[in-house]
Structure formats: C-alpha cells, structure tokens
C-alpha cells in the first residue's frame, strides 16, 4: 500500500494537509493501523451512491408519513413538505447523536448506518437533506 508513515505525516503536517486538499487523499500507517486522510469534498463524492430513500404513506386523515429505509426513522406531517422537513431534521439529529457516541452506535446492525450518518453530517442542512430524500409511494 502507498501509505505514509505517521511520524512523517506528523513532521510534515502542513505539507501533507495541503497535498490532501489540492492533490489526493493519503493513506497513513501507524504501527498496524491504517487510516485514510481525505478532504470533505472527496468524502462527499465517495458517499454519493448512498441515497436516502423513504416510503411515503398517505394516512386516512390525509397526512403523509415517511419511513426512512436505511435507518429506522418515521415522521408524519400534514403534507409531504412538512413530513420531508421533519424527516430531514430527524435524520440530522440522529446523525449527530450517532457521531457523538460513535463507539457505541457503530457496532452490530447499526454499523450499516455509518455512510448515511456521515453523509447527513457533511450536508449539515435540513433543507438540503430534505432535497436528497427520494420517496417511493406505499399503501396506506
């Protein structure tokens, strides 16, 4: 692997960071651990294939319920716009909580949430997250 030694990275921190931002991500080796150092634009590009998909249900009262496929989140609003906004807010809140206690949440079944959590944190805007939600229509 084309990994830089951690000591070299530490000694040349500014140069390495400039290279990561302007050139390419860097692999770093520290003892037996390997890391990837990348700028957020690159990480955002890596996460692009991860799509937030929801099932949309029209309730008997006409309200809209959205259920996020990738993470167990369900939100209801008087219309699709309100339900989308609530879902985006819930997703961002979940991502923040997950990241705050990453060691706990990134185990077991919730490990699959990592790319979606990172994507939500990088977007970090409820309106933009809402724009990313792709709805499929279900049955009420």
Residue 108 has what pLDDT? Answer: 84
Q: What is the pTM of this model?
A: 0.89
Residue 1 has what pLDDT? Answer: 63
- CATH numeric code, 47-137: 3.30.160.620
| 3-class secondary-structure state, position 37 | strand
Give the H/E segment covering residue 64. strand 64-68
What is the mean pLDDT, run by run of 10 residues, along the chain of 140 residues? 90 95 96 95 96 96 96 97 98 98 91 97 97 78
CATH 3.40.1620.10 fits 3-38, yes or no: yes
Q: Do domains 3-38 and 47-137 have the same CATH topology?
A: no
Give the domain ranges of the chain.
3-38, 47-137
Residue 42 has what pLDDT? Answer: 95
Q: Could you say which DSSP state residue 122 is in?
A: H
Residue 107 has what pLDDT? Answer: 86
| Cα 140 to Cα 138: distance, rounded to the nearest angstrom | 7
């Amino acid at each position: 692997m084309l990994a830089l030694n951690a000591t070299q990275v530490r000694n040349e921190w500014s140069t390495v960071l400039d290279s990561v931002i302007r050139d390419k991500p860097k692999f770093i080796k520290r003892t037996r651990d390997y890391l990837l150092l990348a700028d957020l634009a690159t990480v955002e590009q890596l996460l692009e294939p991860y799509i937030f998909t929801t099932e949309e249900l029209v309730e008997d009262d006409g309200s809209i319920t959205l259920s996020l496929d990738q993470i167990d989140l369900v939100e209801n609003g008087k219309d699709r716009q309100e339900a989308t906004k609530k879902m985006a807010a819930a997703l961002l809140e979940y991502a923040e909580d997950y990241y705050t206690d990453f060691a706990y949440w990134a185990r077991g079944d919730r490990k699959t949430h990592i790319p979606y959590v990172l994507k939500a944190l990088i977007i970090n805007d409820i309106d933009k997250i809402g724009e990313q939600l792709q709805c499929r229509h279900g049955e009420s």
